[in-house]
A and B are shown apart, each in its own frame.
Chain A
Amino acid sequence: MTAAIKRPGWTRAALGTVLAAAFGFGLVIVLRAISGLDVFQTEQTGHPHIVVPLVTGPLGFLAGFGCFDYWLRWAAGMPTIPEDHSQHGATSWRDYFRFNTDHKVIGIQYIVTTFFFFFLGGLLAMLVRAELAQPGSQIVDPSTYNGLFSTHAVLMIFVFVIPVFAGIANYVLPLMIGAPDMAFPRLNALSFWMLPLAGLLFIGAFLAPGGAFDTGWTGYAPLSTGAPLGQSFFNLGVQFAGASSIATALNFLVTIITMRAPGMTFWRMPLLVWANLSTSLLVVAATPFIAGAQFMVLFDRAIGTQFFEFAGGGDVVSYQHIFWFYSHPAVYIMMLPGFGIISEVISTHARKPIFGYRLMALALIGIVVLSYSVWAHHMFVAGMFSWLRVPMMITTLLIAVPTGIKIFSWLGTLFYGKIHTYSTAMLFALAFIVTFTIGGISGVMLGMVPIDIHVSDTYFIVAHIHFVLFGGSVFTIFAGIYHWFPKMTGRMYDEKLGRVHFWGTLLGTWGTFIPMHWVGMDGMPRRVADYATQFGDWNLLISVFAFMLGAAQLVFLYNMVVSWRYGPRADANPWRANTIEWQVSSPPPIFNFDEIPRVVGGPYEFGVPGARHAIMGGEGAEVKKPEPTVVGST
């Protein structure tokens, strides 16, 4: 027993959680007693005896689990545990449930955890659609309804779309650039373990007195500053998800900048690497803003600051400025890694170099720069300075240009290629082009102030964000999962089931989200538990398609689980791709490479006679002088 308590792991983590939570609880009680206050403050926004343990408990978990052991020993001058790699790699499923520093294990931990939250968030969406299938009240009261759609959005954004990309890149990116691991493996593991904590805080809000947070994922003040305790769970969950996100982004930046294999210049990096470089630049600079916004709300709620209380001199609209300064770049954080995935999939399955590779990379950087200058397009009717609307409209519309460049370049890649559509990954990539184009078009319309004034906060918005986040981001996630499934698991998935999943998802997405544009323009506001009877038929149709979309995801789940266990063995390179991760075995060896590969050309040199991307260790003897790579010209 003592051994189990000393050793990092679940026992010590449980103990750490309880002790740290008890410490936080006791601290509040004692301090309040000394100050002569009521020991338990149970105003709905207060509850410090719950809020403080919500901070200390998760930290106690991380400490107990072993996330800080190495650093603490080092900082305390104690002998650090010799680098025996006992925390590296996985030989059984149990290794996925401990503090593990292998980027491949962490990648899979990320993907499985985030998909758990995806299915949970999807379940909430099904409940939302069940309620909305008919006008009037169906299954939940309005307050619960507000909690359902808020939690749906928060789970999908903070613990699915953003981190699942970190998971895919965690697995693939170090292999792709010829690195043995990420730059900071322990930080990487810490980043992952903060994520389930964030998710648990979001879900745990359902148990709080007053119910789950019900102010939307945007949590606008002052609705949020006066909301019941569940809102504090959201404020804190965002801190853990955000810290995880920032740490991972720093890790990616350092890894990409310093750990590329010899010969991999910036202009030889696969576009997935470019995409994650761009995304990480957004994350490190923007995420602190949402962390700050949520801390300010938490402080307004718990300790009486008045950042957003107009009666105390606070400014209500400033919450939205701070929030959107993160949350608009966040939509690119949720899209750029997907752009990277699509580039890999399309080039490989069209057997052609990416059309206009350099412009593709520059377009990513262009989006990064522009995305910091468009946030107030979420606030055209919010009562901000009216003069700010026109410049924000112009930058918003201009961001369509680099996005358009990407669409046209993918199409250009298809021309004169040899397009293979046997892979579900490629089907999702092609469908993504169509669906994302529609989402982009509605985005341009929303960017125009007069149109936005009419459709802002209606179902048109719901339609637009689901077209770009589901038809956009989630399609690219599916493409990425199918594409690298053989690499990650060493098994092939079932293409027939993949196709069922694909068509179900495609038709479900269109059937669900296209009519939402129409009812929104025609006068149906968003975030309502009830609506005018004239929208009844459309909403019933939307709900039917939504249930079909939900059912299609079960096919995906079944395919993944069964194929992982029983699928036929996968070759190292089933798609005949050029990038480095496909040149090692499936799954890759524990330290990725016996010898670091040398990069001698661009990543997509399909059809170029004699061209190679990388020379793997052990084949150095047969190296000829590489063909000069010509990029960006015919």
Chain B
Amino acid sequence: MTRRLPIAKMFAVTLVLTALISVVMVPIRWNGQGASTAAGPIDTLTDVMIVLSAFVFSLVMVMLFYALWKFKAKPGDESDGEPIHGNTRLEVAWTLIPTIIVLFGAGYSWAVLEDIEDPAENPLKVQVFSQQFAWSFGYPGKGEAFSEGELHVPLDRQVHFKMHALDVIHSFWVPEWRIKKDNVPGITTTAIVTPNKPGTYQLICTELCGFGHATMRAKVVVEPAAEFRKWVAGLKRKVPAPLMEAVVQDTEANPLPLGPGGA
């Protein structure tokens, strides 16, 4: 009694729809300009997810609108549908196939994560201090050179930002770098970034920190190593003593017992 469904046709329409959505959506740079080595892998992962999502969305749409078109009751039709209670093969399929897809996504994400957090040999360590509602930075050198509201980093060298929050939680985000990390009072957290495009960017606080949260920004300059060294050498101030306390009490210096990284 059950008419066969045009499964091949429905699947074909799903694929066409997926292709259409992907063709429109993949070329758009959703995450904006990229300016670190993390941007490439993260943007590629985003694009892969867009294509997979387009497929899932198209499948749901095709099924929904086919059903609405084919099985809509005619006016005055008070009869019931066909008493189908399920189909074990289908149910197993839509349990297993999504499981495989999400496990693939998890594995892929894990690989990307390892990739973007892979520590390089000789990173530059920059101290980040955040407080309501300003950023300041310490650079290694003769003592610790100190700058307020402006962060400079050299091009193409991995930077380990050691972050210290002085009052409440803040979060360090440079959208072009794709990297974000909370600054947490009492502990040191680390963000790993390798800037690969010179230019001027914005550091944005992304954790609600009070009435000045929206304006808690700092200028970020990525420049060739020589210029960076010159800029640091020109800094007159040293990191103030109270801020140095946080640097010295680096909680990451005593690795957490549960695993490497500890951040």
**Are B182 and A386 in contact (CB-based, < 8 A)?**
no
**Are A310 and B80 in contact (CB-based, < 8 A)?**
no
A507 contacts B by Cβ under 8 Å = no
A400 contacts B by Cβ under 8 Å = yes
Known contacts A386-B263, A412-B90, A451-B42; A606/B5 CB under 8 A: no
A437 CB contacts on chain B under 8 angstroms: 56-57, 60
A382 contacts B by Cβ under 8 Å = yes
Chain A, Cβ-Cβ closest to B208:
A527
B12 contacts A by Cβ under 8 Å = no
C-alpha spacing A311/B166, complex, angstroms: 11
Choose one: B49, B95, B167, B213; the contact of A451 (CB below 8 Å).
B49
**Are A397 and B182 in contact (CB-based, < 8 A)?**
no
Would you give the shortest CB distance from B98 to chain A, in whole angstroms? Answer: 5
**Are A223 and B208 in contact (CB-based, < 8 A)?**
yes
For chains A and B in complex, what number of residue pairs have CB atoms within 8 angstroms? 285
Chain A, Cβ-Cβ closest to B187:
A383
**Are A523 and B32 in contact (CB-based, < 8 A)?**
yes
Proximity bits, A573-602, B CB within 8 Å = 1, else 0: 000100000000000000000000000000
C-alpha spacing A633/B99, complex, angstroms: 22
Q: What band does the interface of chain B fall in when counting residues whose beta carbon is under 8 Å from A? A: 35 or more
Would you give the shortest CB distance from B177 to chain A, in whole angstroms? Answer: 9
Known contacts A351-B73, A353-B83; A530/B214 CB under 8 A: yes
A494 CB contacts on chain B under 8 angstroms: none
A19 contacts B by Cβ under 8 Å = no
CB contacts under 8 Å to A, within B66-102, are: 67-68, 71-73, 77-88, 90-91, 94-95, 98-99, 102
Choose one: B5, B30, B173; the contact of A415 (CB below 8 Å).
B5
B56 CB contacts on chain A under 8 angstroms: 437, 441
**Are A419 and B214 in contact (CB-based, < 8 A)?**
no
**Are A411 and B64 in contact (CB-based, < 8 A)?**
yes
**Are B49 and A390 in contact (CB-based, < 8 A)?**
no
**Are A454 and B31 in contact (CB-based, < 8 A)?**
yes
Would you give the shortest CB distance from B156 to chain A, in whole angstroms? Answer: 21
Binds B, one of A67-75, A77-85, A97-105, A442-450: A442-450
C-alpha spacing A529/B79, complex, angstroms: 55
**Are A350 and B71 in contact (CB-based, < 8 A)?**
yes
Proximity bits, B178-222, A CB within 8 Å = 1, else 0: 111111111101000000000000101111111111110000000
Residues on B facing A (Cβ under 8 Å) = 2, 5, 30-32, 38, 41-42, 45-46, 49, 53, 56-57, 60-61, 63-64, 67-68, 71-73, 77-88, 90-91, 94-95, 98-99, 102-103, 105-106, 109-110, 112-113, 116-117, 167-169, 171, 173, 175, 178-187, 189, 202, 204-215, 256, 258-263
What are 13 A-B contacts with C-beta separation under 8 Å? A141-B211, A220-B168, A223-B169, A357-B85, A381-B181, A383-B181, A386-B263, A408-B94, A414-B64, A416-B71, A450-B38, A630-B85, A634-B86
